[in-house]
Amino acid sequence: MADRNVLTAPISVCFDPEVKPAPRGKTLWVVGPGGSGYKGHWFEGAIAWAELPQLPESVKARLDQLTKQKLENERIRDQQNHPELPEKQIR
């Protein structure tokens, strides 16, 4: 019986590696032998694979901003925790 709480997209499909071999050295969605999926690299014993979804530019920009803010917060924290260090040694 299918789990009705799992959201799946009809356009997103995993490939059977026996029908369409997985590319090597690429980051993919990999389904392991236990049925759990994760972002990673193909390995022998995995049972299926898929290409990762693309992110819209708006999400990429927001992710960029969040990363910059996180780095700035870490820099400020490091300055507060280590006031004796020169600015060049702070992240």
Instruction: Compute the mean pLDDT over every residue in the chain, rounded to the nearest whole number.
Output: 89
User: Does residue 3 have a pLDDT over 70?
Assistant: no
**Which residues, 6 or more positions from 31, have their beta carbon under 8 angstroms from its beta carbon?**
14, 37, 46, 47, 48, 49
> What single DSSP character describes residue 15?
B
The arithmetic mean of pLDDT across residues 30-58, rounded, is 95
When pLDDT is cut at 50, 70 and 90, the band that residue 47 belongs to is: very high
**Which residues, 6 or more positions from 9, have their beta carbon under 8 angstroms from its beta carbon?**
none
Write down the pLDDT at residue 24.
93
Q: What does pTM read for this prediction?
A: 0.62
Q: Report d(CA 54, CA 85) in Å as an integer.
A: 41
